[in-house]
Amino acid sequence: MTAIGVQQVARPLPCRNHRRSFFEVFIRGLIVLCAAIAVLLSSISVCDGRWLLAHGKLFGLWHFCIVNNFSDPACTTDLDLAGVEGLRLGMIFCRSALSFAVVSAIFGLELMMVSLICEDVLSRRKWFLGSVLVVVSFLLSSGGVFAFLVILRNYVTFTGFTLTYWCQFTAVFLFFLNGISGLHINNITDPWNRQSLGKV
């Protein structure tokens, strides 16, 4: 009976309530919500992929289209037909970076949600890892957007960007904001930091 009792006591509880302030719960929930919105915007933007309209040409991650005023755009997946040097290889890099960014953000969002809903001994580590993955998503997505702009720098105009491009641009900003905010709130709510501040 004693051995069984010791095992039951030593076994960690899978989930326990934690006394968090309302403000901390609200901020963490807001970070999770904004990260979910960023994942949704980025997914829509990558799936559509048509980002730039210039000189009667529609450039995208997956397609290149010729736009005529009186007919539907003629699109092809052969990006070499656009006549832009390095477009095909560049779009492969952009697609890969942006797709991995979405995947990284999804895993990061899942870890942050689990940490928020179920408080256990590893919840802070889950939140930290989730925030790091969101920051990685920012780095990947910003790299993909920057590469797109560099490759098509001769065609870039402010009014030529499509709505899906601005969706991705907003997602990049949200990835950065939520990743950094997640790391910061995890740091300032660390009980070890609270103890050290109390001693000071």
pTM of the model: 0.80
Who wins on pLDDT, 193 or 161? 161
Distance of alpha carbon 82 from its chain centroid, rounded?
30
Please report the pLDDT score of residue 134 as a whole number: 95
Q: What pLDDT was estimated at residue 55?
A: 82
Whether pLDDT at 193 is above 60: no
Mean pLDDT along residues 57-61: 88
22-51+85-187: in CATH 2.60.120.10: no
Contacting residues for 155 by C-beta, under 8 A, at least 6 apart: 52, 54, 55, 57, 59, 84
Q: For 3-49, write each residue's pLDDT tens digit.
A: 445 454 445 445 544 566 778 888 889 999 999 999 999 999 999 88
110 or 119, greater pLDDT: 110
Task: Give the residue with greater pLDDT, 177 vs 157.
Answer: 177
The mean pLDDT of the chain is 83
- Domains of the chain, residue spans: 22-51+85-187
Give the bridge partners for 60, in sequence order. 50
pLDDT digits (tens, 9 = 90+) for 132-161: 999 999 999 999 999 999 998 888 888 889
Stretch 162-169: mean pLDDT, rounded?
93
What is the rounded distance in angstroms from the CA atom of residue 71 to the CA atom of residue 93?
A: 31
- How high is the pLDDT of residue 71? 62
Nearest to 43 by CA among 108, 103, 110: 103
